[in-house]
Structure 1
């Protein structure tokens, strides 16, 4: 059976809605947290699929999180080998850094459910499934677009919402996996972060109730399409 390794940067940001299409594609899922003592020894080359999830830290906060450097080195090698790799939010930023791009604080906190604008390249990619669908955003950092990649989506606040290199490397800034996972309640505990984005917890919960199911359905279609195209 094919293997998929989920790398969690925090326990409350797991594979969530993406689990169903990954399992349907025939992958046995394993996961590891970056705080696990064994994480430093994980071979990133070995799994058939690696999924890098989100987290509250910044790629540039290596002083606070010394594991970041080693993760980027191993991720860079996997990407160089063109092994199927998916990154979500922080995971996507990690991929950008591993491909030599700068990751840095953005102009605003982008939080809440809103659609992304899919580019021309995105219309022929798996991102077409989330075009015009409000999906969750929860970040304040961004990245320069890596060389030899295609920009697939943008938003009003951030030009770089998704990119790919070929069929095997896909990075997302937004969270199309979120909308039905009960761990979202933990995200909402960070009320100051929500307030910095000009929202209230009540308003964000209402958005989640209104858009969550459709966002996850579209996200599952997107990932299923991406998995079907892997080389």
Structure 2
């Protein structure tokens, strides 16, 4: 079983999502779109592979928006690739930006949320056996509108948090979060973003460190449920 992880930048790592897939026997192949030396000039040209060569596609998070003109050079091809994967029955697990990209690829839209979400947030869930109430880690300014035919699984006050359409699952939160990943986000601009919203990045990082094991366990359960309840439909 082959899974393709799409890293939009060098700061997004698969964490416990990748760990759990590996434990289930998945062979993970990772592709990086914007390398570290072009992080501040992300309008790169990137040739996406044929998604039909994999059994699972996982587009990860991103510091950019699906709607940002500066990344239009690769967002449009990515949406086409995700649409092709979904149409062919290749499961997609979209995470944060990846979930928004999945929604847009399947006929939804991406818009600015009424307020950003940063840090741990509990969600209202209609299917806790698939997406539990959390808390789940959030770091985003945008939200999606649901694609036609999608079933919303979870939501927060700021917007939709999870949807299922066919064999695909879109997530607004970051189940892959680790203390090391968050620390890298903070030193690459995340600290200023949090402070601008009145959020204490040091306190958030300390809480991620304190709850890392429990967070990973929730993520493992989410990956298990995705594989058995969504990806195999």
TM-score (norm 1): 0.89
- 1:199 and 1:188 mapped to 2: Cα distance? 12
The residue that corresponds to 2:201 in the other structure is: 201
CA-based RMSD of the aligned residues comes to 1.8
**Structure 1 residue 177 displacement after superposition:** 1.6
Q: Deviations over 1:198-219 (max 9, x none)?
A: 2112221222133332122101
> Structure 2 CA distance, aligned partners of 1:17 and 1:72?
25
Structure 1 portions without partners, runs of 5+:
none
Q: Does 2:116 correspond to 1:109?
A: yes
The farther-off stretch of 186-195 and 147-156 is: 186-195
User: How many residues were matched structurally?
Assistant: 221
In the alignment, the residues of structure 2 paired with residue 227 and residue 64 of structure 1 have an alpha-carbon distance, to the nearest angstrom, of 31
- Partner-residue secondary structure (3-state), 1:42: coil
Q: Does the residue aligned with 2:2 lie in a helix, a strand or coil?
A: strand
1:178 is aligned to 177
Shift of 1:157: 2.2
Q: Which residue of 2 aligns with 1:126?
A: 130
Structure-2 separation of matches of 1:21 and 1:73 = 28
After the TM superposition, list the runs of 4 or more consecutive aligned residues in structure 1 that deviate by more than 2 angstroms. Answer: 35-39, 62-65, 209-213, 228-231
Partner SS, residue 40 of structure 1: coil
Equivalent position to 2:53, from 21, 46, 49: 46
Unaligned runs of 5+ in 2: 36-43
Contact 2:121 2:138 in 1 (8 A): yes
- Secondary structure, aligned partner of 2:219: helix
Give the Cα–Cα distance (whole angstroms) in 2 for the partners of residues 3 and 38 of structure 1: 25
* Alignment partner of 1:220 is 2:224: no
| Structure 2 counterparts to residues 186-197 of structure 1, below 5 A | 186-189=184-187, 190-197=190-197
**Aligned mates of 2:50, 2:172 — CA distance in 1:** 25
Provide the C-alpha distance between the structure 2 equivalents of 1:99 and 1:10, rounded to a whole number of angstroms: 23
TM-superposed deviation, 1:6: 0.3
2:84 to 55, 74, 77: 77
Q: Does 1:137 align with 2:138?
A: yes
Name 2:33's counterpart in structure 1.
34
Cα separation, 2, equivalents of 1:213 and 1:95: 28
1:194: Cα distance to partner? Answer: 0.6
In the alignment, which residue of structure 1 is the partner of 2:67?
Answer: 60
Deviation at 1:39, TM superposition (A): 4.1
